[in-house]
Amino acid sequence: MYTFKKEERLCNKKLIDELFHNGSSFLCYPFKVSWMLVGDAQQFPVQIVLAVSKKRFKSAVDRNLIKRRMREAYRLHKQQYLYDQLNIADKKIVLSLGYIGKEITPSDFTHKKMLKLLTQLSVEVAK
């Protein structure tokens, strides 16, 4: 329930390209969310890729810190706010979370924004 396994990560380059060309997106500062419905028989309801701009955050230590916080917030809240709604609707999606903030935000702020993002995403997918 509160895990983040390798199978949940989006690694397929064709799917990533298709996601950025044909997917829907919205902003929920400090995140940019791109998502797309897929018909594949994947094991998990969501496959996700996390991105932090190298242009904005030159240091790998900073990029890794932000990605770690994003992963942790997603891992803790995905089941209740996203997976349950997707399983009810019997839909599967691929998802991209890009960090567009200009500074490193505290963990509690990241968690709060992740909750908002996941609820907004579940509403968008349900349409």
The pTM of the full predicted model, rounded to 2 decimals, is: 0.92
CATH 3.30.40.10 fits 8-119, yes or no: no
Domain boundaries, the chain: 8-119
pLDDT, tens digit, for every residue of 29-48?
999 999 999 987 788 999 99
If you write DSSP's letter for every residue of the chain in order, what string do you get? -----GGGB---HHHHHHHHHH-EEEEETTEEEEEEEE-S--SSSEEEEEEE-TTT---HHHHHHHHHHHHHHHHHHHIIIIIHHHHHHT-EEEEEEEE--SSPPPHHHHHHHHHHHHHHHHHHHH-
pLDDT value of residue 43: 87
The stretches in the chain having pLDDT less than 70 are none
pLDDT value of residue 105: 95
pLDDT value of residue 39: 85
